[in-house]
Amino acid sequence: MKRLIFFLLFLTPACMFADQPAIERVEPPFWWTGFRNPALQLMIYGKDIASKEISVAGSQQEGVVVTAVHKVSNPNYLFVDLKIGASVKPGVFSLNFSANKKVVASYLYELKARKKGSAQRKGFNNSDAIYLIMPDRFANGDTANDYIAGMKEKVDRSKPDSRHGGDIKGIANHLDYLKELGVTALWMTPLLENDQPKYSYHGYSCTDYYKVDPRFGTNADYLKLSDALHQRGMKLIADQVFNHCGSEHWWMKDLPSADWLNQWPEFTRSTYRAGSVSDPYVATIDSNQFSRGWFDKTMPDLNQRNPYMKNYLIQNSIWWVEYAGLDGIRQDTYSYPFKDMMQEWGKRMLEEYPDFNIVGECWMDYPATVAYWQKDSKNLDGFNSNLPSVMDFPLHDALIKAFIEKEGWNTGILRLYEILSQDFSYPAPGNLVTFADNHDVNRFLDTQNDDIRKLKMAMAFILTTRGIPQIFYGTELLLTTGVDKGHGTIRRDVPGGWPGDKRNAFFSAGRTVAENDMYNFMHKLLNYRRSNTALQTGKLVHFIPVDGIYAYFRYNSSGSVMVVMNNNEELKAIDTGRYREVLEKFKSGREIISSTDIKDLSKLTIPGKSVLIIDLKK
Ligand code: CA
């Protein structure tokens, strides 16, 4: 579909056919006035467009200046630099394309007014609990968009790796469910068009950076969802991918230049060795293959060092923040693109939105290698990513082991203590996003032999320790991967999300006893955290675990919370004398999950494989 308003001016019929440039795309398709950075680079695509002269005309032209026009090896592209002066008012101007001094085509370019307070938006932060949804698998609110004529993949719910039909409407229909559950921010895996013949449901193979996949809805539907979230006091985090696009991306058939992508004589995969970028002893062949190798055959590797590509991605990111009112970005495969470009992206984002938050998927095993990527890290090579938040993969790995391992000198619950004790590596440990699972790893329950007690311990931990917790959709409903392990089944449909489903787990009557128990646990804990600033931003003190008991405290001027985990199978009665340095100020408390008062804090009894969360009282 051509989205352009296309005008032909002053043409005789003869030259209309001879000289008419079929302008297929102008990207970004529109922009805004009032950004700190006045520069805007348009990518213009159309047959032989490079042979045309470009000028700006119209009543709004004052202050809009063409500062440069760049030709690349493919004459079907032009990159046009505009300067939008501070005095420019919102409105429309005309981009004129001329041949032989005659205007042969025009594009009406709109500069919109930014929403009030746009630059001051507050990104997601410690007050939030993020809920991660894979939109194809949450709820199908509109069966009419399940198949769109002309698109390559059809819906087949019987196949775990096919599209299942979930969409934006399905999510919008369940915002009250999410609000009631107690989560405050929504991260959806990418919604942009993925017109790929296979595996298009997951969204990581973009075929159009400016268009929501019609099977999920429209750009306007996305904006509406954003407004509906904001009306409920909730936040929206977009998943963006700078590392790769989809092999069916429209530009793949007619690349601007050979170096638009990182190309190899024959298909070469990334090494996926993310630690090689920060490795002080890295060999060139390894750093090269990590960053320039392709993530997959169907995921061409973008060359972010191409200056036009770099601008394209940065502007695309800003465009979506401004268009959809985003409260944050999760950047996929963050460490794979060239890091100099990622550094500049972070800088540009924070210049335009100083209180914004971005979390990078830095999938590495150690706090030191993850910390390398967080903004203001004191790295030996001087690198500063400008990335405020990173995903806490080391904590995720520790969580998986902590409750299933036998207690030992350096095993079991001690894993949690050990991971947090390395927080000195991070410039801002409180701004890490913590999680027990996500769409790329086994569901936590699967890793614990379906032991719900251990899932509750993990959820209690990420909702009470430092960081910004992220919960994978369906965790509160005990979704598991089942026997047919694989990415497609990790991303299982929520029962009741589809018309005709046998039961509806979005309502308590449609849930099993165990599901209701888990839902109630999450509901209670999330809502407690939502109103408890000590759990959000309070200080953390923890005690070295002894005999499988791990105790820690979160506190600030308005409250104090004690968390005790018993990692033994059997019930334990513990003497809390060891925690005196914190506890001596308090006389009693209230256990949050069981809603019971505790009159004597000197002795506590904790059932096996469980957690006490005690709101302390003086
Ligand atoms: Ca649908």
**Domain definitions of the chain by residue range:** 2-113, 122-531, 536-617
Ligand 1 centroid to Cα of residue 136, in Å, is: 8
Residue type, 545: P
Ligand 1 centroid to Cα of residue 511, in Å, is: 23
Average pLDDT, the chain: 94
The proportion of the chain whose per-residue pLDDT surpasses 90, expressed as a percent, equals 93
Active site residue 195: no
Cis upstream peptide for 256 (omega within 30°): no
Residue 322: burial class (beta carbons within 10 Å; 0-12, 13-18, 19+): buried
Active site residue 361: yes
Task: State which fold the 2-113 domain adopts.
Answer: Immunoglobulin-like (2.60.40)
Could you say which of 193, 221, 327, 361 is catalytic?
A: 361
Ligand 1 centroid to Cα of residue 163, in Å, is: 9
122, 123, 125: which is closest to 469 by C-alpha? 125
3 state SS of 256: coil
3 state SS of 338: coil
Ligand 1 centroid to Cα of residue 148, in Å, is: 10
3 state SS of 450: coil
Which pLDDT does position 4 carry in this prediction? 36
Ligand 1 centroid to Cα of residue 503, in Å, is: 19
Mean pLDDT throughout 474-480?
96
Joined tokens for residue 331: 């950047």
pLDDT band at 1 (very low <50, low <70, confident <90, very high): very low
pLDDT at 537 over 90: yes
State the Cα angle at 134 between 133 and 140, rounded to 5°: 100
User: Which residue did the predictor score with more confidence, 241 or 4?
Assistant: 241
Q: CB of 151 within 8 A of CB of 215?
A: yes
Pairing of strands 549-556, 559-566: antiparallel
Ligand 1 centroid to Cα of residue 298, in Å, is: 24
Which pLDDT does position 522 carry in this prediction? 98
Q: For residue range 12-35, list pLDDT tens digits in order.
A: 333 344 456 689 999 999 999 999
Mean pLDDT throughout 418-439?
98
129, 4, 188, 44: which is closest to 535 by C-alpha? 129
Mark out the alpha helices in 474-606 (DSSP H runs).
487-490, 513-530, 533-537, 580-583
Mean pLDDT throughout 251-267?
97
pLDDT at 6 over 60: no
Class of domain 122-531: alpha beta
Q: For residue range 68-96, list pLDDT tens digits in order.
A: 999 999 999 999 999 999 999 999 999 99
Q: For residue range 114-160, list pLDDT tens digits in order.
A: 999 999 999 999 999 999 999 999 999 999 999 999 999 999 999 99
pLDDT at 610 over 80: yes
**Could you give the maximum distance between any two Cα atoms of the chain, in Å?**
94
Same fold, 2-113 and 536-617: yes
pLDDT at 3 over 50: no
Mean pLDDT throughout 343-352?
98
Which pLDDT does position 7 carry in this prediction? 36
Ligand 1 centroid to Cα of residue 389, in Å, is: 33
**Cα(409)–Cα(406) distance, integer angstroms:** 10
pLDDT band at 481 (very low <50, low <70, confident <90, very high): confident
Ligand 1 centroid to Cα of residue 461, in Å, is: 35
Ligand 1 centroid to Cα of residue 141, in Å, is: 6
Ligand 1 centroid to Cα of residue 206, in Å, is: 19
Which pLDDT does position 79 carry in this prediction? 98
Q: CB of 120 within 8 A of CB of 36?
A: no
Pairing of strands 102-112, 91-99: antiparallel
pLDDT band at 488 (very low <50, low <70, confident <90, very high): confident
- DSSP string for 389-425: EEB-HHHHHHHHHHTTSPPBTTBTTHHHHHHHHTGGG
523, 121, 91, 96: which is closest to 320 by C-alpha? 121
* 244 half-sphere exposure, CB direction, 13 A CA radius: 26
Which pLDDT does position 398 carry in this prediction? 98
CATH of the domain spanning 536-617, picked from 2.60.40.1180, 3.20.20.150, 1.10.760.10, 3.20.20.70: 2.60.40.1180
Pairing of strands 130-133, 468-472: parallel
Could you say which of 136, 332, 392, 476 is catalytic?
A: 332
